[in-house]
Structure 1
Amino acid sequence: MPDSQKEPDSQAPLTILIAADTYPPHINGAAQFGYRLAKGMKGRGHNVHVLACRQDKGLSYTEFRDEATVHRLRSHKVPTHEYFRICFPWEIKKEISLLFDKVQPDVVHIQSHYMIGEHVLYEAVKRGIRVVATNHFMPENLNPFMPFPQWFKDIIGRISWKDMGKVMGKADVVTTPTPLAAKAMHQHAFLRKVLPLSNGIDSAAYELQPGEVLEPNPAPTVVFAGRLAEEKHVDVLIDAVAKTPAELNVHLQIVGGGEVRPALEAQVERLGLKDRVTFLGLASDAELREVYIKADLFCMPGTAELQSLVTLEAMSASTPVVLADAMALPHLVNDGENGYLFRPNDSGDLAEKISRVLSLPAEDRAMMGKASRSMVEPHSIDGVLQKFEDLYRGASYDDIQV
């Protein structure tokens, strides 16, 4: 990977440009990480700018938000996705160049190799500005939104991996949230060095505060939180709830919105679960925190998770977990200690694991929850922000302990 021609001062506040192809109000882990990164770096005294697409038609504009100065680029709707938008290179390349002239960043941090991230990286390299590149995506994440046969999706996936290597190979440092994702990038994108660096979590935010009392749920409750998309396999979780023993009276709360919600609601109706499955829709941070704390069990049935921030959040609230044995999720389970893994897409196995946890005495479930909480400690957001700041100031791969 190239050495930058210019390295930021080791003490002075930095001007940081974060390039994010997905950013709030988008609801997904990558968007949430971009927001937390911007907020955290501003809190550390840096001058933070974010470059992202705008959410509707119109020209590019700048908005001043609490976490950063956010520059919104003109964009276009993707017909197969409820909110994702794309930027055309011929419309944004000149605007990106002008933004560099205006902002004069010391360091650039791209969040993907697509569209905005790609062209921001090229502009930074051209100007000799240090680049940190973080990958939050697997090509498989795009499959549900491409109306093509699987063989053609596989070709697109290989092209996407190759493009990732071409683009991110020009960065000074490449990171991704988990060792598993780093290994995949080695194998498929042929990137020689990838630093596994957690997205980070403010685990203390999910603890009960002194004097705080929350009424427990009236029945044993499993929680899912996330985008309601095909690769999350929430339908498998609903089927599993239907297969749990009637005497357990297992309830399910589903937090989030997305393109498959109508199909999931129809499934709940068909299975006669309307009195046990609740769709809570999009929730504020405060509302989601309460859901996590009151949950008896958190389940993530998704099979394309690079880290799963929502799982880390639930674990921070001392909640046992049952997770699909897929992608990065196995890193978040010590089987039998803080929960269990289940065979992906196997609703029978999931039902058995849910029943196993919810059949335990309350004190045993509490011990599982404490084990979840202790496993989150290495993902401290303060530690993650410090490591990224060190990378911004010129630290190498070998300088960062993971």
Structure 2
Amino acid sequence: MTSTPSDRVDKPLTILIAADTYPPHINGAAQFCFRLATGMTARGHNVHVMACRPDGGPMFTEQRPEATVHRLRSRPVPTHEYFRICLPWEIKKDIATLFDEIQPDVVHVQSHYMIGEHVVYEAVRRGIRVVATNHFMPENLNPFLPFPQWFKNIVGRVSWRDMGKVMSQADVVTTPTPLAAEAMHQHAFLRKVLPLSNGIEAGNYELAEGETVPRHDYPIVAFVGRLAEEKHIDVLVDAIAKTPADLNLHLIVVGGGEVKAALKAQAEKLGLADRVTFTGLISDAELREVYLKTDLFVMPGTAELQSLVTLEAMSASTPVVLADAMALPHLVNDGVNGYLFKPNDSDDLAQKIATIMRLSPEDRAAMGAASHSMVARHGLQATLDTFEDIYRGGSYEDHAV
């Protein structure tokens, strides 16, 4: 007889989350891991995280509010300002030692790369339940590979193959969206991949009762995320330059990353220095204020498996214009809450931005309300419920739609 989620509620679990990227890294996967650890700890579970050190030195353990975090020895990546990786021959022994100490009931890996791969192998060797979530596309590696595109294509194919080899050993495999699951079917040959939203706390970005946030004197277009090659923020800057002058659009770019200097130079060359603001990394409170003051959110990235920042902007009742690529089409009902644009086409993007910004305030507000209503199915608590059931033995079949 098949068990149900209610049958599987039992004692607290010891959960080991293996994360190749984790705060202080700034990206969607790192943020998801932090929220997952926080949520599971709040539910009474004993949560441990394995992640790389943000600096040099041997493995160490730190007690944090969200979990016990074990920082493995890591090395800098010469082509990135802060990202670090763990080398297999330096971490395998520490991983085995930590398994002896932690004695996890379940392991949840967040990628098939260095830490995730060897945690899977160790868990399988010990007969421990494994859940694997994929947050990455091979394109995410491009900024770290100073090689010709043909070589990057080879790396991409190898990465897909390795994903299939590693994640096929998991008891349940998930990824944030149906399109991402389909990509894993096609390229990594993983047959059962459960689409499961990363989830957000939508209420964090809504106006509280009686709250007002003063708007700017000019309309604001915003981008939030890593300033990385695959985000194609240069296309957005070009598009702002091509919008009609009478709209007087200002662009706010939130985040840090390897292409920031090039983007600043681009804005200055296009005469946009006084209309493009680069905030760098900001606090959660400051980010909430950006969302609530924004008239239009744009995501030009072409390798998004979900885009948590887009969901956050939508939960703040903001219209969106998104690249017609990977998982982003799931977040747009064309003409209702925004538009899709042809990837890397700044003319099309400029036209879609102008179309929305020419609408009346009432029509733009209706678009924003439509965005807000679409976010309801991405609630974090529902995501945590599903993962908790999977940790206790729930299967792909239990949750597949």
TM superposition shift of 1:123: 0.7
Which residue of 2 is the match for residue 318 of structure 1? 317
1:50 aligned onto 2:25:
no
Runs (4+) off by over 4 Å: none
Residue 300 of structure 1 aligns with an amino acid whose one-letter code is: M
DSSP 3-state at the match of 1:231: helix
Aligned to 1:362: 361
Once residues 349 and 90 of structure 1 are traced to their aligned partners in structure 2, the CA distance between those partners, rounded to angstroms, is: 48
Q: Is the 8 A contact 2:142 2:229 kept in 1?
A: no
Q: State the distance in 2 between where 1:234 and 1:138 align.
A: 18
Separation (CA, whole Å) in 2 of partners of 1:377 and 1:187:
29
- In the alignment, does 2:15 pair up with 1:26? no
The answer to whether residue 283 in structure 2 is matched with residue 279 in structure 1 is no
Q: Distance in 2 between matches of 1:271 and 1:311?
A: 26
The alignment partner of 2:55 has SS state of: coil
Deviation, 1:107, is: 0.4
C-alpha displacement of 1:69: 0.7
- 1:371-402 C-alpha deviation (Å, 9 max, x unpaired): 00010011000000000001000001111155
User: Quick check: 1:189 aligned with 2:192?
Assistant: no
Query: Which amino acid in structure 1 is aligned with residue 203 of structure 2?
Result: A
Question: How far 1:144 moved relative to its partner?
Answer: 2.2
Q: Matches of residues 17-166 of structure 1 in structure 2 within 5 Å?
A: 17-166=16-165
The residue number in structure 1 matching 2:243 is 244
The answer to whether the Cα contact below 8 Å between 2:87 and 2:114 also exists between their aligned partners in 1 is yes
Question: What is residue 289 of structure 2 aligned with on the other side?
Answer: 290
One-letter amino acid matched to 2:294: A
Deviations 1:192-228 (A, max 9, x none): 2100101001101111112222111110100000000
Return the offset for 1:151. 1.4
Tell me: CA distance 1:204–1:401, structure 2 relative to 1, closer, same or farther (3 Å).
Answer: farther
Question: After superposition, where does 1:218-233 map in structure 2 within 5 Å?
Answer: 218-233=217-232
**Aligned partner of 1:26: which letter?**
H
Match of 1:374 in 2: 373
Cα distance in structure 2, aligned partners of 1:28 and 1:83: 12
Shift of 1:9: 6.8
Partner of 1:338: 337
TM-score (norm 1): 0.97
1:222-280 CA-to-partner distances (Å, cap 9, x unmatched) read 00000001111111101111111111101100000000000000011111111111111
Q: Secondary structure at the match of 1:13?
A: coil
Q: Distance in 2 between matches of 1:271 and 1:153?
A: 31
Distance in 2 of aligned mates of 1:57 and 1:284? 26
Separation in structure 1 between the aligned mates of residue 85 and residue 169 of structure 2, nearest angstrom: 23
Cα distance between partner residues in 2 of 1:323 and 1:211: 31
Residue type at the aligned position of 1:168:
M
Distance 2:14 2:284 in 1: 28
Classify the secondary structure of the residue corresponding to 1:62.
strand
> Counterpart of 1:374 in structure 2: which amino acid?
S
Q: How many residues align?
A: 395
User: Which whole-Å CA distance do the structure 2 matches of 1:301 and 1:154 have between them?
Assistant: 21
Is the 2:8–2:393 contact (alpha carbons within 8 Å) kept by the matching residues of 1? no
Q: Measure, in 1, the Cα distance between the counterparts of 2:112 and 2:174.
A: 12
Within 1, Cα distance between the matches of 2:82 and 2:132?
A: 24
Q: Tell me the distance in 1 between the aligned counterparts of 2:110 and 2:77.
A: 20
Q: Quick one: distance in 2 between partners of 1:53 and 1:269?
A: 37
CA distance in 1, matches of 2:75, 2:162: 22
Alpha-carbon separation, structure 2, partners of 1:257 and 1:144: 14
Q: Which residue pairs with 2:199 in the alignment?
A: 200
- Aligned equivalent of 2:3: none
Match of 1:209 in 2: 208
**Post-superposition offset of 1:154:** 1.2
Determine the C-alpha separation between the residues in 2 that align with 1:220 and 1:88: 47
The one-letter code sitting in structure 2 at the alignment partner of 1:70 is: V
* Structure-2 separation of matches of 1:162 and 1:269: 42
Deviation, structure 1 residue 286: 1.0
**What is the CA distance between 1:328 and its match in structure 2?**
0.6
1:170 partner SS: coil
| One-letter amino acid of the counterpart of residue 120, structure 1 | V
TM-score w.r.t. structure 2 length?
0.97
- In structure 1, the residue matched to 2:168 is 169
Task: Report Cα offsets for 1:161-197 as digits up to 9, x if no partner.
Answer: 1110000000000000011111111111111210010
Question: How far does residue 10 in structure 1 lie from its aligned partner after superposition?
Answer: 3.7
RMSD: 1.1
**Mapping for residues 253-272 of structure 1, pairs under 5 Å:** 253-272=252-271
Find the residue that maps to 2:173 and give its secondary structure. Answer: strand
Post-superposition Cα deviations, 1:308-342, rounded to whole Å, max 9, x if no partner, equal 00000000100000001111100000000000001
Residue 91 of structure 1 aligns to which amino acid in structure 2?
E
Q: Which amino acid is the alignment partner of residue 123 of structure 1?
A: E
Letter in structure 2 aligned against 1:60:
M
Q: Identity over aligned residues, as a percent? A: 75
Distance of 2:221 and 2:399 partners within structure 1 = 37
